[in-house]
Amino acid sequence: MTFRFATAADIPALIELVESAYRGDVSRRGWTTEADMLDGRRTGADDLHDCISDPNGGILMLLDKEQILGCANISVQDGAGYFGMFAVTPNLQNAGIGKRILAEAERIARDDWQQQTMRMTVIDIRDELLAFYARRGYRRTGTTKPFPYGDERFGLPRRDDLQFEILEKDLTP
């Protein structure tokens, strides 16, 4: 297995991966599904193109030969590493793929980009996901951001109580 950053040629495969991890019935094969909370899209070519062309980051992918097993958007934002759009092929979840991607993202933020903190936003009712990150050293900050209701780029909410919470991890040795 190898890591590399995505290029524009990877966008169709990345859309398929991210959508399969979060939306629709196929996402229910894994534990990261948002199918009970959100319908609609999770990402699109526009979002991925913006991430890939970000001079302060990109889409980190873990591949087995040419097959993308998982990905995450990583960048430097507001004086810290940022980790988002994390997706692992549903039938490979719980196989350690996500842990490897998260660890490599943290290494890049710390060693290559000299960031002391990694941040992310998580929908605050995702208890199992919050617990996954807590086991890896992330702490809930208590700082929340509103869910962008009405912006279909973020999905079509099935609930009216969604919001994001910012999680942080100290990356200093």
Q: What is the pLDDT of residues 36-69, one digit of tens each?
A: 878 787 888 999 999 999 999 999 999 999 899 9
Task: Report the C-alpha gap between 106 and 28 in whole angstroms.
Answer: 27
Q: Which pLDDT does position 169 carry in this prediction? A: 98
CB 1 within 8 A of CB 56: no
Q: Which pLDDT does position 39 carry in this prediction? A: 77
Instruction: Name the residue range of residue 12's domain.
Output: 2-170
| Phi, psi for 110 (deg, rounded to 5) | -75, -55
Question: For residue 150, is it left (φ>0), alpha (ψ between -120 and 50) or beta?
Answer: left
Q: Kindly state the helix (H) or strand (E) to which residue 96 belongs, with its residue range.
A: none
Q: pTM of the entire structure? A: 0.90
Which CATH number does the domain housing residue 83 bear?
A: 3.40.630.30
Domain tally for the chain? 1
Question: Range with the lowest mean pLDDT among 4-18, 28-42, 78-92, 107-121?
Answer: 28-42
Residue 34 has pLDDT above 90, yes or no: no
